[in-house]
Amino acid sequence: MKTSIATVSISGDLREKLAAISAAGFDGVEIFENDFLAFDGSPREVGAMVRDHGLEITVFQPFRDFEGMPEPLRARTFDRVERKFDVMQELGTDLMLICSNVSTQSLGGIDRMAADFAELGERAAKRGLRVGYEALAWGRHVNDHRDAWEVVRRADHPAVGLVLDSFHTLARNIDVETIRAIPGDRISIVQLADAPRMDMDLLYWSRHFRNMPGEGDLPVTDFMCAVAATGYAGPLSLEIFNDQFRGGSPKSIAIDGHRSLVALMDQVKRSEPAMSIEVPDLPDRVAVKGVEFVEFAASDQEAEELAGLLAAMGFHEAARHRHKDVALFRQGGINIVVNTEKEGLAHASYVVHGANAYAIGLKVGDAAATVDRARALGATPFEQPGRPSDLAIPAIRGVGGGLIYFVDDASNLSRVWEIEFGVADATADGEAGLVAIDHVAQTMNYEEMLTWILFYVSIFRTRKLPMVDVVDPGGLVRSQVIESDDGALRLTLNGAENRKTLAGHFIAESFGSSVQHLAFASTDIFRTADALAARGFEALGISPNYYDDLEARLALEPEIVDRMRARNILYDRDEQGGEYFQLYSRNFGEGFFFEIVERRGGYTGYGAPNAPFRIAAQKRSIAPRNEAALMASPTAAGDDR
């Protein structure tokens, strides 16, 4: 599989772009004309620079407003093409992309346009060059790949091929199955892009909101399956126009791009195993069976404070590590690890972020295969030297700098608690009725959010729920749920656009720590709330006004509302009658908190309507030393995810 990316897809000058593209593992690059024109080197120097980075130029693009022009514009257009052919030969590439005409002066007509391409094919062939024709979704006469193919077919010249672009096809809801009838050897190059579903002008949508395959809502996999069925075996190239990417890290965006192509083609291969494109073998997306543990890094003092909060929630210290300063707290099927080591990654994480949940352990079917897939998709495996008796738990670095460990039922990994802590791997009884981790909420800067989404959906067998935009008095927080079909893994990603929101404040004050809260599942939240109160747990206080409105809005019985009011429990109900109960702790450290939830009747949401009321309560309970910073701007934090 030859991978490529257009220089317009990432930020930086041409040198920075090429360095990032090469480092990410791409084979080739599309030289976007504006990037070339802005560079202060000759075409030969650019071509040499590309090759010095181990890349090839897959295409030079775009050439605009070519076909169907009246004279004398037609003659001038051919003169322009010849000059670009000169540039191509000096660059060292043989393919030019020509996008469908948008000029109001163009005449259209399939035969007229085909004749233009037939002549152009002759001129290109004399120089050993090729041209590819792409249907822009907003083209004046050609805006459908079927019409573009008809022009190419009638031109009937070996130097003239078709360019397929997933965005232009999918944005117009064109049936991708029509691609299967196109001969693969007549396709010059395939360009790929995803995008969120939006109802807006096609040109504006295309120029500002494209993203990597897997980050958006378009059926790019279906598109690529149809392409694979044609027998096409050429380069797969990303062409991404995105305002956010233009201001992002070239290295990070390039890595995302390569990851997206590998993950996409892995899925295509599983649907179209006989395709001509050679795709690396890697394990399938991993099914997660649950969150095995969450590990905190803390100082001795903060570990003591955290232990007190956990004890108030019904956890007990089950064991200490055989030779490390690490404690294990348990309740139900929940394992919380508190690491106070003075060396290693946990300590480094504490030094940078303060007390934080720096590692998550996931239970999977095959831990080694999970790491293999993650490594093939650009993730970094993690190993930390230890004693020979220590269990080597497979792990990778997460996108936020933390760790993700993997355990399975194979070999010694199934005995992790016995080997490391000397306790049985059994469910621990708990007085408070907490049974599992319902979801893990992670917070990041909004511009990094697509990277997080792609990371999770490409490695794990998960799906994205629709993004929720939550208006925060201090700005906007965007919330995206990533979850498995069975709910064994639920991650809520909250993207903060500025530090005036509670989510943004958490990132700023913790210097980028990602896990902002853990949600524990209860089998009976009222019994849990009473048990916690008896143990000295201080629940986040909710305004009495919330309960008066709740009773009227949802026509709840006064008795149930009174029970919730007395325990500071929030409530939501979906259209199918599913119910959701929520109880929050006060903040721990710089904005971290715990949530306790109970789901009834198949409720699958996350209590989004309760966000403003929970946020207001958190603002009231903010630590005095942080109050001044937050008083300058009202705060809030995403939805109740």
**Residue appearing with tokens 């080739």:** 28
Helix (H, G, I), strand (E, B) or coil at 30: strand
Question: Annotated binding residues for a divalent metal cation, as ranges?
Answer: 134, 165, 191, 239
- Give yes or no for a contact between 55 and 28, defined as CB atoms under 8 angstroms apart: yes
The sign one gets for the Cα dihedral 282, 288, 293, 296 is positive
Identify the bridge partners of residue 60 per DSSP, sorted by sequence position. Answer: 31, 96
Helix, strand, coil proportions of the chain in percent (round to 5)? 40, 25, 35
- Give yes or no for a contact between 515 and 442, defined as CB atoms under 8 angstroms apart: yes
Identify the bridge partners of residue 444 per DSSP, sorted by sequence position. Answer: 495
Residue 590 dihedral angles phi and psi, to the nearest 5°: -90, 50
Question: Annotated binding residues, as ranges?
Answer: 134, 165, 191, 239, 439, 517, 595
* β strands within 8-149, DSSP E: 28-32, 56-63, 95-99, 130-134
Identify the bridge partners of residue 381 per DSSP, sorted by sequence position. Answer: 396
**Residue appearing with tokens 């990778």:** 396
Q: Token digits for 370? A: 């999970």
Strands 570-573 and 579-584: antiparallel
**The sheet that has 326-331: what strands, in order across it?**
316-320, 326-331, 334-339, 288-297, 356-364, 403-407, 395-397
List of residues 6+ apart from 431 with CB closer than 8 A? 314, 531, 535
The sign one gets for the Cα dihedral 525, 528, 532, 533 is positive
List of residues 6+ apart from 318 with CB closer than 8 A? 328, 329, 330, 421, 423, 428
Under DSSP, the state recorded for 587 is P
Under DSSP, the state recorded for 585 is B
Per-residue burial over 12-32, b if 16 or more Cβ lie within 10 Å, else e, is bebeebbbbbbebbbbbbbbb
Q: Token digits for 481? A: 């749920």
Under DSSP, the state recorded for 483 is E
d(CA 86, CA 109): 29
- If phi > 0 it is left, if psi is from -120 to 50 it is alpha, else beta; for residue 273 that is alpha
Instruction: Count other Cβ atoms within 10 Å, centred on residue 375.
Output: 13
Strands 579-584 and 395-397: unpaired
Question: Annotated binding residues for Mg(2+), as ranges?
Answer: 439, 517, 595
Q: What is the DSSP string of 93-130?
A: --EEEEEPP--TT----HHHHHHHHHHHHHHHHHTT-E
Q: Token digits for 622? A: 């903010």
List of residues 6+ apart from 254 with CB closer than 8 A? 5, 10, 20, 21, 23, 24, 26
d(CA 612, CA 609): 7
CA 69 to chain centre: 43
Closest CA to 283 of 115, 126, 408, 468: 408
- Give yes or no for a contact between 391 and 413, defined as CB atoms under 8 angstroms apart: yes
